[in-house]
Structure 1
Amino acid sequence: MKAGVVPAVHARWQLEDIEKPEPGPHQVLVKVHACGICYTDSLLAEGVLSFRPYPLVTGHEGVGEIVAVGDGVVTRKVGDRVGMPITQKPCGRCDFCRQNHPYSFVTANNCVAPVLTGVNVNGGQAEFIAVDELGTVLLPDGISYENAAPTVCAGYTVWAALRRADGPPGGTVAVVGIGGVGHLGIQFAKAAGYRVVAITHSPEKHDLARRLGADEVVPDGAGLKAVGGADVMLHTAPSHGPAIDALKGMRPWGKLVLMGISADDAFPVPALTMTAHSLQIVGSAHNSPEYLNEALEIVARGEVKPMIEIFPKEKIGDAYQKLRDRQLRFRAVIQY
């Protein structure tokens, strides 16, 4: 079969022939129709994160149709349309797993031996993938494969963050950064009934943010304060500086929700601001599978539409180069 392969660190991605997998016990074989490229894939390709030797087949935003099932499969059947998020299977035996937490990226980071799709096993950048049946999610009938792919990670991320923030009904959500995750954050927050303020230093994104549903667009924390502040802030920018500055515009008892991964891990906070206004900083990492199901349903209803650039599998090298050059608007999806 054909697969998008990362041959070495910093290397151009390329389409190669590799062995087609067969489903083992409790596994399903999925014919992949589309797979998104995530920033985490870039961290793997550039050697910032390392879990196994090169060459790699990445991809934790794969979606497709089940074409075969292995022995013992009871929750999936041939013909099911499924997505394959990053956490495929925990070990089930470590101290963390014995607490019976729901599958999420928290599981990926705390289980001692998780199976992670596209990270420590081959992912969805291929024509076929064999995955544990519990490492799949059923897709709603109304969603296309191309829109489902980025929802499996990026959409999941922002919707789970909104649910974790638990903002007041009718409150205001600020979204820092209008990119691959932030453009979805605006739409999901609007779909949930919030007033939305987009925070971006890029003037060329102001009109786009409004088209996506933002009620206000401001450049920084002073601007956020001037339009009334926010109860919840979703930090989706690739660097922490804009979110730290935007704390100036948070309302009392507000929550800043961190999501995703930044190469800059330090997050210095203004202690007086945090204390004087009783603010909270909350981490969010997918949190629970029901949030992925909710996100997919919202996209299927047309309330949120990912902005994607679609590439045939033969152009996977071009797609990754556009991501590295920050030229995507906003998510790359590869068709297989």
Structure 2
Amino acid sequence: MTKLMKAVVVPAVKAAWEVRQRPVPEPGPGEVLVRVHACGICGTDLWMAHGVLSFREFPLLMGHEGVGEVVALGAGVTERKIGDRVGLPMMQKRCGACGFCREEHPDSFVTAGNCAGPTLTGVNVDGALAEYAVAGVGGTVLLPNGISYEDAAPTVCAGYTTWAGIRRADARPGARVAVVGLGGIGHFAIQFARAAGYHVIAVTRPGKHELARELGAADVVTDGAVLKEIGGADVVLHTSSSHAAAIDAMTGLRPWGKLVLMGLSEDEMILPALSLTTHSHQIIGSAHNGLEYLAEALDIVARGQVRPMIELFPLERADEAYRKVADGEVRFKAVITL
């Protein structure tokens, strides 16, 4: 095997993304080496590249929407074999020794936020925006037959986030589910909610109404007032970059309804306390809620019930992909192919 690989490196805050030569990493005990075939760019990657989130010093080798083929096994690995097709989600492994870990919670995004020393692919260790990546075997998930690497990549984070939030909402069969925002997560949410048999209502600006219907929305509205007029929603899925949009949509949230927060937003969230209490609404935060939900999401995509909307870029055009994502010019997920 070659000793050098190409990798996308972010040298400094808001700097251009560069393709550099890096040594191919070697898997240690309990780890696998993956030949990466595709990796999506996530909003979290932008926040780290822009210095909004900081987990380690620059230069950064990011990427937590990576998928590829296992090409080498570290000592003691029995759960994977050479040739396995796997995804590399962000949550790789917990420290196992802190107070949170001693409570023996299943690994999830909550682990990432509460473990004293988690290993997070593409966040505090090198990620999958490279020809090869190393991960703990527990930080990999098998890809089902029938799913392409290109479709699997954005499902490993954006699709995972979406399906986990829908499962967390635990709505009754046939419930009315409103999706706020139509972007990287929102376009997944409409399709996943439809695949689950819900009556889907898209809450988005007029320019995206036709697309929302094409994705499977039964109704499309522009705001919470109109949502209320057409009968409201049992669940509101917040997928946009604005908390204000989610709060507005709560105008149409039915009694005992749930608001599930999945979109990352920088604006403050001011809740309508009176209606929250009088209607017994629930506010639920949700991210990656366990690898079983990722496996389910991948299966749904593999069956063709959900089709990620992606724009492909070769590794050499990674900086162009980054710029287009940052400028909101990609519909809806940029995927780097290797």
Interval of TM-score (by shorter of Structure 1 and Structure 2): over 0.9
Q: Deviation string for 1:62-102 (max 9, x for gaps)?
A: 00000000101011110000000000010011111111111
| 1:80 corresponds to which of 81, 84, 89 | 84
Paired residue for 2:312? 310
Q: Does 1:90 align with 2:68?
A: no
Q: Deviation string for 1:210-250 (max 9, x for gaps)?
A: 00000000000011011110000100010111110111101
Return the offset for 1:288: 1.2
Q: Does 1:63 align with 2:70?
A: no
Q: Distance in 2 between matches of 1:214 and 1:311?
A: 29
Q: Deviation string for 1:144-174 (max 9, x for gaps)?
A: 0000000000000010000000011111000
Q: Distance in 2 between matches of 1:14 and 1:198?
A: 38
TM-score, normalised by the number of residues in structure 2: 0.98
Paired residue for 2:119? 115
Give structure 1 regions of 4+ aligned residues with deviation exceeding 2 angstroms.
none
CA contact (8 A) 2:240 2:263 kept: no
Q: Distance in 1 between matches of 2:241 and 2:219?
A: 21
| 1:25 corresponds to which of 16, 26, 29 | 29
Q: How does 1:1-336 map to 2 (within 5 A)?
A: 1-201=5-205, 203-264=206-267, 266-336=268-338
CA contact (8 A) 2:240 2:264 kept: no
Give the letter aligned to residue 243 of structure 2: H
Q: Distance in 1 between matches of 2:187 and 2:230?
A: 20
Q: Distance in 2 between matches of 1:291 and 1:198?
A: 23
SS of residue matched to 1:56: coil
Return the offset for 1:286: 1.1
Give the letter aligned to residue 285 of structure 1: A
Percent identity between the aligned chains?
65
Give the letter aligned to residue 240 of structure 2: A
SS of residue matched to 2:134: strand
Give the letter aligned to residue 244 of structure 1: I
Give the letter aligned to residue 256 of structure 1: L
CA contact (8 A) 1:157 1:260 kept: no
Return the offset for 1:14: 1.5
CA contact (8 A) 1:102 1:289 kept: no
SS of residue matched to 2:23: coil
Give the letter aligned to residue 275 of structure 1: T
SS of residue matched to 1:223: helix
Q: Distance in 1 between matches of 2:314 and 2:306?
A: 24
Q: Greater CA deviation, 94-103 or 121-130?
A: 94-103
CA contact (8 A) 2:181 2:204 kept: yes
Q: Distance in 1 between matches of 2:70 and 2:86?
A: 7
Q: Distance in 2 between matches of 1:285 and 1:260?
A: 9
CA contact (8 A) 2:171 2:234 kept: yes
Give the letter aligned to residue 289 of structure 1: L
Give the letter aligned to residue 324 of structure 2: K
SS of residue matched to 1:18: strand
SS of residue matched to 2:46: helix
Consecutive unaligned residues in structure 2, runs of 5 or more? none
CA contact (8 A) 2:12 2:58 kept: yes
Q: Greater CA deviation, 282-291 or 295-304?
A: 282-291
